């Protein structure tokens, strides 16, 4: 089932996306913002990754599509813990020029709607490098997430250590937010 935001649509990742995903995976600009790290990835590696994508219900990965633009990024809901009803969420928008236009907020709202209104989860986890102001502003300032902790000097980037900010959102936070913002109303 695709997830619909107000403008974006989240769908399954397809083989045709792999060239773009490979460019993003190898982009130093994008990887600088992400908490994950890896060696350069060939298109063959990317295909192996695609073929290994889990079809079980524990890790869900989405391509973000915007009208007229097509594929603009990826989002996920992984490590879904059905017993305690939580999961980890992350996302990226590939092209710098389409950031800061609200697509990320719309994506996170769609992911939260799915997680809380369809899957019945109780909370979502996330984390970011302390210098990722756009991500912090987006999750904490716009999407109702809260800072829940900080692991000091967790990341090594550009010759320096940086803290990991641990963030999270509960079902109650989400429903309070959509009530306040009337986000569901078109
Ligand atoms: C983090 C990310 C998803 C946010 O996307 P976005 O398109 O900027 O988000 P939105 O436009 O929906 O909203 C973000 C808010 O942060 C603000 N913002 C964006 N970039 C900013 C920056 N560099 N400095 C300060 N504020 C910034 C936006 O202006 C907006 O607030 P506003 O509406 O009050 O102006 C995007 O920057 C991205 O993909 N970055 C690279 C990958 C990444 O960091 N992923 C997250 C890892 S935790």
pLDDT for res 182: 84
Quote the tokens at residue 120. 């019945």
Selected from 3.40.630.30, 3.90.79.10, 3.40.50.2300, 3.40.50.12280, the CATH number assigned to the domain covering 3-181 reads 3.40.630.30
Of 49-53, 76-80, 140-144, the one with minimum mean pLDDT is: 49-53
Q: Which residue among 37, 98, 99 is best mutated to probe the pocket of ligand 1, counting the most ligand atoms within 8 A of its Cβ?
A: 99
Q: Which residue among 33, 138, 142 is best mutated to probe the pocket of ligand 1, counting the most ligand atoms within 8 A of its Cβ?
A: 138
How far is ligand 1, taken at its centre, from the CA of residue 42, in Å? 28
Give the predicted TM-score (pTM) of the model.
Answer: 0.95
Q: Can you give the residue ranges of every domain in the chain?
A: 3-181
Quote the tokens at residue 67. 């009208």
Check pocket membership of 105 for ligand 1, CB cut-off 6 A: yes
From the alpha carbon of 103, which atom of ligand 1 is closest? 12
pLDDT for res 53: 86
Taking the C-alpha atoms of residue 160 and residue 181, their distance in angstroms, rounded to an integer, is 39
């Amino acid at each position: 089932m695709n997830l619909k935001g107000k403008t974006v649509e989240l769908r399954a990742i397809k083989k045709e996306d792999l060239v773009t995903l490979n460019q993003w995976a190898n982009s130093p600009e994008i990887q600088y913002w992400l908490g994950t790290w890896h060696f350069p990835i060939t298109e063959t590696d990317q295909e192996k990754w695609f073929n290994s994508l889990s079809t079980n219900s524990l890790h869900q990965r989405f391509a973000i599509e915007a009208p007229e633009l097509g594929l603009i990024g990826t989002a996920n809901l992984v490590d879904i813990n059905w017993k305690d009803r939580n999961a980890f969420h992350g996302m990226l928008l590939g092209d710098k020029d389409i950031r800061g236009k609200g697509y990320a907020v719309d994506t996170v709202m769609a992911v939260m709607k799915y997680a809380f209104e369809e899957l019945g989860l109780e909370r979502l986890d996330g984390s970011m490098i302390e210098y990722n102001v756009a991500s912090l502003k987006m999750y904490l300032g716009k999407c109702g997430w809260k800072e829940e902790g900080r692991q000091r000097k967790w990341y090594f980037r550009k010759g320096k250590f940086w803290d990991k900010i641990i963030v999270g959102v509960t079902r109650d936070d989400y429903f309070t937010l959509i009530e306040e913002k009337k986000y569901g109303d078109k």
